[in-house]
């Protein structure tokens, strides 16, 4: 795992975190500007989940506030984790219907982009859709598959998560809508994703598993489902069989330049 300059808070005995004034102000800024950006772009299921969570606007939410809503909706909860966790830990938590939330928030100087997921990304980007049964079921099955997979299989599974949970689109009767948390929690990616630049392909499991991506650039390609309930049906397919087929076929040529080498 790569190092991170961020250090997560450790919840107290009561499970709560004493966030600072600066951290609460950062949350307030992030949620205000993202909530102003999403109407008309976020999918209906996300908007319904966000309303159900009823996240505070002036402070960072406590994990138990979010967990109680998820538990009552789909039986999920959230788990406080450090800034970075192992793949084994990540898959294990998802398999148990516990969504990992890193207990730190980006610094004001990192407001627009942060490579590692912080609490705003996890709670505002992902947790609203964990109130949705199809999304919640898919995420748990994904965790179960990842937990049992070998290292090479996990590399292919990572692309499935990336192009659905993180950067998925829906093609609705009203037009393209966002459901991926990596877009929904990023003002830059929100504006970019539904613009004229990126390609949008119909979701195809084998193609998704064969498509390279980079985490440090805007996505040149997104995949669109026809409805969020397709995730439930996807979870019931032979995903690992598709992984093995994609491994035999190999990767597609990337649609982006290679990452610049570090100097020195």
The reply to whether 137 sits in an annotated binding site is no
Domains recognised in the chain with CATH numbers: 21-249 (1.10.800.10)
- What pLDDT is attached to residue 263? 52
pLDDT per position as a tens digit, 213-262? 999 999 999 999 999 999 999 999 999 999 999 999 999 999 998 887 75
* Cα-based angle 5, 259, 263 (whole degrees, multiple of 5): 65
pTM here is 0.95
| CB neighbours of residue 185 within 10 Å | 24
- What pLDDT is attached to residue 2? 58
- Ranges of the chain with pLDDT below 70: 1-3, 262-264
- Sheet of 199-202, strands arranged across: 175-178, 169-172, 221-225, 199-202
The reply to whether 166 sits in an annotated binding site is yes
- What pLDDT is attached to residue 195? 87
The reply to whether 153 sits in an annotated binding site is no
Distance of CA 260 to the CA centre of its chain: 25
DSSP classification of residue 42: B
């Amino acid at each position: 795992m790569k190092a991170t300059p961020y250090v997560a808070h450790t919840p107290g005995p009561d499970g709560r975190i004493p966030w600072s004034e600066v951290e609460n102000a950062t949350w307030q800024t992030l949620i205000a500007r993202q909530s102003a950006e999403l109407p008309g772009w976020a999918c209906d299921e996300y908007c319904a989940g966000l309303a159900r969570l009823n996240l505070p606007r002036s402070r960072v939410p406590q994990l138990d506030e979010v967990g109680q809503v998820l538990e009552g909706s789909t039986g999920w909860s959230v788990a406080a984790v450090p800034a970075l966790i192992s793949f084994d830990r990540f898959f294990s938590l998802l398999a148990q219907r516990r969504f990992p939330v890193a207990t730190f928030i980006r610094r004001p100087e990192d407001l627009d982009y942060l490579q590692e997921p912080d609490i705003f990304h996890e709670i505002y980007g992902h947790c609203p859709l964990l109130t949705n049964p199809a999304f919640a079921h898919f995420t748990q099955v994904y965790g179960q598959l990842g937990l049992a997979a070998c290292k090479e299989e996990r590399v292919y599974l990572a692309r499935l998560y990336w192009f659905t949970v993180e950067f998925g689109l829906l093609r609705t009767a009203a037009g393209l809508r966002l459901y991926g948390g990596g877009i929904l929690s990023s003002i830059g990616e929100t504006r970019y994703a539904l613009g004229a630049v990126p390609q949008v392909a119909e979701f195809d499991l084998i193609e998704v598993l064969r498509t390279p991506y980079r985490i440090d650039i805007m996505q040149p390609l997104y995949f669109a489902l026809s409805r969020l309930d397709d995730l439930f049906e996807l979870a019931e397919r032979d995903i690992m069989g598709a992984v093995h087929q994609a491994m035999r076929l190999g990767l597609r040529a990337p649609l982006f330049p290679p990452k610049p080498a570090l100097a020195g």
